[in-house]
Structures are given as C-alpha cells and as structure tokens.
C-alpha cells in the first residue's frame, strides 16, 4: 500500500522559510517522479514542483521559481520542499504525490499527472 506522510508545516511570517518533508513507503520510491501540489483556501489545487526519479531534474511552477527547492533522498525514501521568501499567498495545504508512470517531467505540471497523495500539511504565512 502506497503511503505518503507529509510533515514540517506550520505558521511562518512573510519572508520566512520552512522545509516540508514527505516520507514514502509501500512502493519502490525511485521508480517514481515525485511532486508537490498545494491547495490554497477556497481555491483549486495547484501544482508546485516536480523532481525526477534520480533527482537530477526538477521543474517548478512560475510562482515559486527562485523561492522553493524540491529535492529527494532515495536512500531515505523522502522528498523535500524547501520554501523561502514565503508570501501570504503561499498559504495552503501542501501535498506530496507520486507521478504517473511513463510521463515526461516537463509535462507533469498539473495535479492530474499525479495519482497517490499524502494527507497534506498546512502552511500558513501570516504576520
């Protein structure tokens, strides 16, 4: 059974930083592109970032480029999202998810390209 458990969310001031972690189990972790998706309050899901199976290639939504970094440790079955220069509009529930097999990472820019999801972790950016 695929399990994804996010952690690291919380309340942070604008301009602050936070690192999210997602521990994976129940599947061969390095067989999958992984992604982070978020859902702001009362808004639709937004794709945030993706990382290839080896970790060599990453892709970001424009609204987080230069501020967020996705990484993974395949030995620990964990994917991370380092977030800096946080803005109030980054407030959302953040989910990690496994990408659909056989897709090119550059096309995996929609929540529909991901199938197994964690329970999410809340990030609130507010003063």
Residues 77-107: pLDDT tens digits?
A: 999 999 999 999 999 999 999 999 989 899 9
Count the neighbouring beta carbons within 10 Å of the beta carbon of residue 7.
Answer: 13
Query: Is residue 61 a contact partner of residue 45, using CB atoms and an 8 Å limit?
Result: no
Residues 16-69: pLDDT tens digits?
A: 999 999 999 999 999 999 999 999 999 999 999 999 999 999 999 999 999 999
Q: Alpha carbon of 87 to those of 46, 80, 94: distances in Å?
A: 16, 19, 15
Query: Is residue 108 a contact partner of residue 49, using CB atoms and an 8 Å limit?
Result: no
Residues 5-18: pLDDT tens digits?
A: 999 999 999 999 99
């Amino acid at each position: 059974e695929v399990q994804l458990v996010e952690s690291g969310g919380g309340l942070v001031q604008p301009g602050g930083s936070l690192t999210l972690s997602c521990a994976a189990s129940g599947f061969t972790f390095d067989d999958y592109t992984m992604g982070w998706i978020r859902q702001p309050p009362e808004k639709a899901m937004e794709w945030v970032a993706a990382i290839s199976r080896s970790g060599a290639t990453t892709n970001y939504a424009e609204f987080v480029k230069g501020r967020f970094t996705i990484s993974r440790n395949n030995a620990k079955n964990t994917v991370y999202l380092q977030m800096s220069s946080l803005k109030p509009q980054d407030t959302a529930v953040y989910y990690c998810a496994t990408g659909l097999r056989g897709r090119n990472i550059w096309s995996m820019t929609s929540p529909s390209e991901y199938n197994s999801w964690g329970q999410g972790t809340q990030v609130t950016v507010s003063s």
